[in-house]
Amino acid sequence: MRQTRRNFLLNGWKLGGALLISAAGYTAYEALRPLATGAGRGKVNLGEVKGLEDGTATYFPEGRLYAVKAKGDLFALSQKCPHLGCTVPFCETSGRFECPCHGSIFDIGGEWIEGPAPRGMDRYQLVVKGGTAVADTGTLEPGPDRGAKEYRSPPTGPSCIK
Amino acid sequence: MAEEGRDALEPGVARPGSGLVARLHRSDVWRSMFRHPQLDTPRGRALQSFSNFFLHVYPVKIPARVLRIRYSFRLGYIAAVLFGILTITGVYLMFVYTPSPTVAYGDMQHLKTGVGFGQLVRNVHRWSAHLMVVVVFLHLVRVFYAGAYKKPREFNWVIGVVLLVSTLAFSFTGYLLPWDQLSYWAVTVGTNLVHYVPAFGSTFQDLLIGGDQIGPSTLLRFYALHVAVLPGVLTIMLGVHIWRVRKDGFAVERASAGAFAEEATNRPLPGAPAGFYGGRTRLLGVVDRESVTAEDRPVDDTVFTWPHLVARHVVVGLGVAAVVLGLGVAFAAPLRGLANPNVTPEPSKAPWYFAGLQELLSHFDPLVAGILVPTGAVLLLVLLPYLDRNPATEARNRKVAVLTFGGLAGIAVALTLVGTFFRGPGWRFVAPWTHLYLEL
């Protein structure tokens, strides 16, 4: 098609409009994306590794996580359920993580046992330095797949949600 | 002098009254606002429509069948009335409410204890919101069974789907604002559904809630969406929706084939170029040299909108207001304890209109239940008028469409009912008559 002046100008306006809309869209993205330095994105000191007892979970509200020791291994488990984001409490009687929202149950190592959760509990990276464990809440790693049973043991008592 | 002249326009109808009101009605100031007297003649009724901005939304005359309640059950109109009530009560609430986690919950309590009728306004707002979701859904079902999404109304159906999605977004964003345990966890569960979108899930969720968990930025953006963005979208789209109903005419007449007969409008007007508006020309749209009253119809079954439809709409509107006021007086909107991110109540349900989705999610893979099903449902609704090319509007001539739609809608309703009424702590099956885990 021959490029007439009228056509050229018309396409120019369209291009200008498209640019304006993309600029508005990007501005909306900038306004809505989370701030880079959001809360809960820092290092949490979990204290002496020796102080943690095997098969127990200690809650750290500043990191919204549990420090657990399972069969000698140390984990920093996020309290947010991988199913729909509910807060998963640790059930002292059964020695498991049991979500009251939708009934997902995880073992002490954060591995999936039952319920609708698609995987085990998500965990933060841990660094042990000079006998002190530090969790980095900026690095969340997805939990193990449903099949994992490495840390599973029979419940120590009655369930909290059944 | 001028006064007699005006009344003389309608000889024998306008009685030259002598009282104060009659004199007021004849005054120049009154006539500057209302240009002609209200006359109960055909011409007077038509004038009423022509000279009133607000009546412009209606056609001047409508087919008499539209007046029957069974024609539409007034569902679209009721949804619009509810939107109006929600706007008014919402503005009241805006004067009291601050969208900040430290203040919001206190504002809700202040509404109850410190503002006259404050709790009632909130109750009415909440009940209207729930009802609007129900009514919009019923409107969609009604329009489907009437086949009123068929040519030439395909695109208006699509706009209707946009309005349905906007209504759900409205309700969902408003759900968070009280900042109590109910709203906090319902929105946590609801927004976590987005997480299952492949590849972009986290990004979408970040944009939606502005962080790893529901927090101050979530509350602020939900508030902005609820009081600024969505009202704008819904108002504009509703305007277009109603305008298109007005232009396409009411889908009433059924010919023997079952399709809407539009004999009065499908025939090109003499003198209009062929193919003009696709060969269709409309009353009051394009006017030939002939007067519109000269347009001949086989039988004139039309009545004036003013007063016949307007009066019915006023009655239905007042009825809707009475219902939501009654609900507001009888049932208080729930307010649980202050939102606490560390304590999850059991069970945590998404708002009831998403409970079906949550129910589905407990049976199927998240990708299927959380993403494919809802996306597919909206897509299917949008594409429906373009996939269903059958022009028939009677159920017996479109069995496949009716059965498919009925089946899918039935499944959606059943899942919603199960998720809302039959699920208790740990999402275990609970009969609703033993204990109802439902808060609206």
pLDDT, tens digit, 9 for 90 and up, residues A40-95 = 567 888 887 777 778 888 888 888 899 998 888 889 999 998 888 888 999 989 88
Pairwise pLDDT comparison (B423 vs B276), residue with the higher score = B423
Q: What are residue B254's DSSP bridge partners?
A: B260
Q: Residues A82, B361: contact at Cβ < 8 Å? A: no
Q: What CATH code is carried by the domain that includes residue A85?
A: 2.102.10.10
Q: What mean pLDDT comes out for the span B62-80?
A: 91
Higher pLDDT: B333 or B347? It is B333
Q: Model confidence over A85-126: pLDDT tens digits?
A: 888 999 989 889 998 888 889 999 999 998 888 899 999 988
Residue A38 forms part of a structural domain: no
From residue B177, alpha-carbon distances to B167, B172, B355 in Å are 16, 10, 19
Question: Residue A48: which residues within 8 A CB-CB, separation 6 or more?
Answer: A131, A132, A133
**A85 with B347: Cβ contact below 8 A:** no
Q: Residue B258 — very low, low, confident or very high, per pLDDT cuts 50/70/90?
A: very low
Is B261 a residue whose pLDDT tops 50?
no
pLDDT in tens, B301-326: 789 998 899 999 999 999 999 999 99
For chain B, give every residue range classified as CATH 1.20.810.10. 68-255+332-427
What's the average model confidence in pLDDT over B211-234? 93
Q: B256: which 2 tokens? A: 């023997």
Contact B189 A101 (CB under 8 A): yes
* B202/A contact by beta carbon, under 8 A: no
On whether both A57 and A27 belong to a single domain, the answer is: no
**Alpha-carbon gap, residue B279 to B374, rounded angstroms:** 38
- Scan for tokens 């207001």, then name that residue: B321
Instruction: Provide, as residue numbers in chain A, all residues whose Cβ is less than 8 Å from the Cβ of B344.
Output: 86-89, 99-101
A85 with A66, same domain? yes
Q: Give Dmax over CA atoms of chain B in angstroms.
A: 83
Q: Which domain holds residue A22?
A: 1-33
| Average pLDDT value for residue range B322-338 | 94
pTM of the model: 0.85
Nearest to A96 by CA among A151, A20, A141: A151
Cα B130 off chain centre by = 12
C-alpha triplet B119, B125, B129: angle, nearest 5°: 145
Strands (E), B30-146: 61-63
Tokens coding A46: 């979990």
Residue A65 lies in a domain: yes
Residue A131: its pLDDT value, please?
Answer: 81
Which pLDDT score is estimated for B75? 96
User: How many distinct structural domains can be found in chain A?
Assistant: 2
Residues from chain A that touch B351, judged by Cβ atoms under 8 A, are: none
| The CATH number of the domain covering residues in B68-255+332-427 | 1.20.810.10
Flag whether A162 is in a domain: no
Of A134-143, B227-236, B377-386, minimum mean pLDDT range: A134-143
| Mean predicted lDDT score pLDDT of chain B | 85
Asked if B390 contacts B399 with a C-beta cutoff of 8 angstroms, the reply is no
Which residues of B, range 332-391, sit inside 8 Å of A by Cβ?
341-348, 358, 361-362, 365-366
Token digits of residue B279: 């060969």
Q: What is the pLDDT of residue B300?
A: 67
Cα(first)–Cα(last) distance of chain A, in Å?
74
Say yes or no: A42 contacts chain B, CB-CB below 8 A.
Answer: no
CA-wise closest residue to B169 among B79, B91, B234: B234
Q: Are residues A75 and A123 in the same domain?
A: yes
- Chain B residues within 8 A of A118 when measuring between CB atoms: 365-366
- Higher per-residue pLDDT: B198 or B76: B76
Q: Taking 90 as the threshold, does the pLDDT of residue B250 lie above it? A: no
**Residue of A34, A39, A116 with shortest CB distance to B427:** A116
Measured between beta carbons, the chain B residues lying within 8 angstroms of A32 are 207, 210, 221
Residue B253 burial (10 A CB sphere; 0-12, 13-18, 19+): middle
- CB atoms B212 and A40 under 8 Å: yes
Q: Judge contact between A151 and A120, C-beta under 8 A.
A: no
- At B377 the pLDDT is 94
Q: Are residues A103 and A25 in the same domain?
A: no
